[in-house]
Amino acid sequence: MGFNLMRVLLVHNKYRTSAPSGEDEAVENERRMLEAHGVEVATFLRCNDDIDESSVAAKSKLVANTIWSRRSRRQLADALKIVRPDLVHVHNTFAMLSPSVYGACRRAQVPVVQTLHNFRFFCPGSLFLRDGKPCEDCVDRSLWQSVRHRCYRNSLGATVTLATMLTVHRSLGTYSRGITRYVALTKFARDKIMKGGIPGDKVVIKPNFISNPPAEGKGGGQYAIFVGRLLEEKGAETLIKAWRRFPHFKLRILGDGALRPKLESLARSEGLNIEFAGRQPKNVVLQSIADAEFMIIPSECYEGFPMVIAESYACGTPVLASRIGSLNELVEEGVTGRKFTAGDPDSLADTAQRMLNDPQELRRMRARARAYFDASLTEEKNYEQLVKIYSDVIEEYARGEMRLA
């Protein structure tokens, strides 16, 4: 099959626009990339902005549809008849689509590729995080540990809904029979997916990427930068505490989040050298990254593949990241950046100071960061990887090596 004749249906449940998601950006990047290379792409999209929680009845309907949405299954079945894709690529089904969409693909005898941007297939909270620390109880023991601890938004009802969704679809074989190939963003994620019960031969690794990368920056802005949401699991409080050690070196924060008012108040009261710039257009973000001396990613949860890492490397900006999860894999110590102990303000500050004390090493890391981007995170490289995944799945299915029972 010529790749330019391939027809793909992308299925994605977008997050609320009030909480911008790197996952939504990654999905859109892939769509544009495929189309630019001649792949025929159709989309089946929903957005959580449309969730109706205006009444008890509406909330009850949302619970039922999260577990199994007849409407989504029927609508996707209709789309499959119209589009007649060679393959369906699913990114997210929560909360409006539901796992019922896999059944529509199985009935239509269309193979499915599923990218796992987080760990929701194994953890109702999606992050393997509880009380600010990594937690894998739902894999090591039982999904119902999440209910005990109200792991999704600290809500008993919502957590029960998600645990029930996962339990029901595991028992139905939705995840084992309805999905032909899983895509993990890193080796760390692949290992966790396998630990969650998915056979290793069904899981491949393909990272995120960015299109039209900016020119390599030179730094010189005399500041460090954080780009993202100001949330507890993102290590925002740890970052602010660490910056008490840097009265003469600025931290520039681009982004918003629930902790912003509290952190701004703290920084103001202590006279910290921190600028809260809020959400900014992409061109401003990229220029700010390019001018920064280094990027800081202080997450205290297991990240997927943060888009800001790809953006930082494209700009030639080294990354100072928590030594946790996929971040430990994505940042090579002393090559593309440095790492510190997650949740430890002193470790963060000590490592940041070490970077600032060696400007020549910072310059070398800038060149290595961009070299890593050019070798691994470009659109062309990603297209080769993704189309190979697609073609392998389509060809194997056509030979009857994999059947959707």
Residue range 133-149: mean pLDDT, rounded: 96
Instruction: Report the 10 Å Cβ neighbour count for 12.
Output: 25
Residue range 207-218: mean pLDDT, rounded: 94
Q: What is the distance between the alpha carbons of residues 26 and 55, in angstroms, rounded to a whole number? A: 34
Residue range 51-75: mean pLDDT, rounded: 90
- Cα maximum dimension of the chain: 67
Lowest mean pLDDT among 3-7, 77-81, 115-119, 383-387: 3-7
pLDDT at 339: 98
The DSSP call for residue 336 is T
- Helix or strand holding residue 153 (H, E): none
The DSSP call for residue 333 is B
Q: Which two tokens stand for residue 27?
A: 């999905």
pLDDT digits (tens, 9 = 90+) for 365-382: 999 999 999 999 999 999
DSSP assignments along 177-221, one per residue: HS-SEEEESSHHHHHHHHHTT--GGGEEE-----SSPPPPP---S
pLDDT at 1: 47
pLDDT at 404: 44
Phi and psi (nearest 5°) for 87? Answer: -160, 150
pLDDT at 59: 86
Instruction: Please list, in sequence order, all residues whose beta carbon lies within 8 angstroms of the beta carbon of residue 155, skipping any fewer than 6 positions away.
Output: none
Instruction: Please list, in sequence order, all residues whose beta carbon lies within 8 angstroms of the beta carbon of residue 178, skipping any fewer than 6 positions away.
Output: 99, 102, 103, 105, 106, 112, 404
The residue behind tokens 């509290």 is 262
Residue of 325, 327, 261 lying closest to 133 (CA atoms) = 325
CA torsion, points 68, 90, 22, 316, in degrees to nearest 10? 160
pTM for the full model?
A: 0.93
Instruction: Write down all domains in the chain, each with its CATH number in brackets.
Output: 3-115+173-209+379-398 (3.40.50.2000), 223-376 (3.40.50.2000)
Q: How far apart are the first and last CA of the chain?
A: 24
Percent of the chain beyond pLDDT 90?
A: 90
Q: What is the distance between the alpha carbons of residues 289 and 310, in angstroms, rounded to a whole number? A: 11
Q: Which two tokens stand for residue 42?
A: 């159709």
pLDDT averaged over the chain? 95
Q: What is the distance between the alpha carbons of residues 174 and 105, in angstroms, rounded to a whole number? A: 11
What number of H helices and E strands is found in the chain?
17, 14
pLDDT digits (tens, 9 = 90+) for 294-309: 999 999 999 999 999 9
The residue behind tokens 């393959």 is 87
pLDDT tier, 5 (very low <50, low <70, confident <90, very high otherwise): confident
pLDDT digits (tens, 9 = 90+) for 175-202: 999 999 999 999 999 999 999 999 999 9
The residue behind tokens 């949330």 is 231
Instruction: Report the 10 Å Cβ neighbour count for 139.
Output: 17
Higher pLDDT, 356 or 52: 356
pLDDT at 196: 96
Q: Which two tokens stand for residue 274?
A: 């921190």
Indicate the pairing of strand 274-276 with strand 250-254.
parallel
User: Is residue 405 over pLDDT 50?
Assistant: no
pLDDT digits (tens, 9 = 90+) for 23-32: 999 999 999 9
Contacts of range 154-158, beta carbons closer than 8 Å, 24 or more positions apart: 157/63
Task: Check: CB of residue 134 under 8 Å from CB of residue 324.
Answer: yes
Q: E strands along 129-185, which residues?
A: 129-130, 133-134, 181-184
Task: Check: CB of residue 390 under 8 Å from CB of residue 113.
Answer: yes
Q: How far is CA 140 from CA 148, 171, 252, 276, 314, in A?
A: 15, 18, 39, 40, 38
Task: Check: CB of residue 206 under 8 Å from CB of residue 387.
Answer: no
pLDDT at 4: 55
pLDDT tier, 22 (very low <50, low <70, confident <90, very high otherwise): confident
Q: If you compute the radius of gyration of the chain from its CA atoms, what whole number of angstroms results?
A: 22
Task: Check: CB of residue 196 under 8 Å from CB of residue 139.
Answer: yes
pLDDT digits (tens, 9 = 90+) for 273-301: 999 999 999 999 999 999 999 999 999 99
Highest mean pLDDT among 16-20, 70-74, 131-135 belongs to 70-74
Task: Check: CB of residue 205 under 8 Å from CB of residue 386.
Answer: no
Residue range 10-39: mean pLDDT, rounded: 93
pLDDT at 296: 98
CA torsion, points 365, 371, 376, 379, in degrees to nearest 10? 120
Determine the 3-state secondary structure of 254 from DSSP: strand
